[in-house]
Chains A and B, each alone.
Chain A
Amino acid sequence: EPEVTQTPSHQVTQMGQEVILRCVPISNHLYFYWYRQILGQKVEFLVSFYNNEISEKSEIFDDQFSVERPDGSNFTLKIRSTKLEDSAMYFCASSEGGPGYNEQFFGPGTRLTVL
């Protein structure tokens, strides 16, 4: 069964450093997403991406964040200058359809720890 994969599974970084989280969505999916989940809290939407551009973004997704699909398979989330409060699980997801069609397939997540 096809699945979304994410690397690394755990990333530790110093405050102020840049991190890039990587995802490989399911191959025939067209919509891609990043979510985050702070420990013990609910899953929060960050951004959706379609046709090589951002479709929607939340208030969390400020100028420190960017997304990119550098090739035909990878989808990345970059945090330019990490803050302590960026420590969270980051989930990538993909879906065949877009807004309204919410059967999104989630990856296993990357745990980001900012020291």
Chain B
Amino acid sequence: LAKTTQPISMDSYEGQEVNITCSHNNIATNDYITWYQQFPSQGPRFIIQGYKTKVTNEVASLFIPADRKSSTLSLPRVSLSDTAVYYCLVGDGTSGTYKYIFGTGTRLKVLA
């Protein structure tokens, strides 16, 4: 089964750009890469989704290299309220069926 890995934790200061990378070697061919944010005792909340190259929305950018075996979530100018756990989510089709695999999660702490 695919292993989707992320750094366990990161610290940053307010106003800085934060980049979080996820590796997903067995991503399914037609699958999108999605990133979620999770606050304590809440469900994950959608941030951004992409298939390849670069995607940008009002809160983040997502960079995906040509081989799609990894992706990088970029949060510009983080604030204290961005302190949360960030997960990538990919689909794994290697076993012949399709399963959703969350990354191991990156705990981002934003410091004043």
A residues engaging B (CB < 8 A)? 4, 33, 35, 42-45, 48, 55-56, 58, 89, 91, 93, 99-109, 111
The answer on a CB contact under 8 Å between B41 and A109 is yes
The answer on a CB contact under 8 Å between A43 and B31 is no
Residue B89 is within 8 A (CB to CB) of chain A in the complex? yes
The answer on a CB contact under 8 Å between A43 and B41 is no
- What A residues does B49 contact at CB under 8 A? 102-103
Known: A43-B87, A100-B31, A103-B49. A108 touches B42 (CB 8 A): yes
Which chain B residues numbered 8 to 56 have a C-beta less than 8 Å away from chain A? 28, 30-34, 36, 38, 41-46, 49
Which chain B residues numbered 92 to 110 have a C-beta less than 8 Å away from chain A? 93, 97-105
- What B residues does A4 contact at CB under 8 A? 43
21 A-B pairs with C-beta separation under 8 A: A43-B38, A44-B102, A56-B97, A56-B98, A56-B99, A58-B99, A89-B41, A99-B28, A99-B93, A100-B28, A100-B31, A102-B32, A102-B34, A102-B49, A102-B90, A103-B49, A106-B45, A108-B42, A108-B43, A109-B41, A109-B43
Query: Nearest chain A CB to B102's CB is how many angstroms away?
Result: 4
The answer on a CB contact under 8 Å between A103 and B34 is yes
Known: A91-B43, A106-B43, A109-B42. A101 touches B32 (CB 8 A): yes
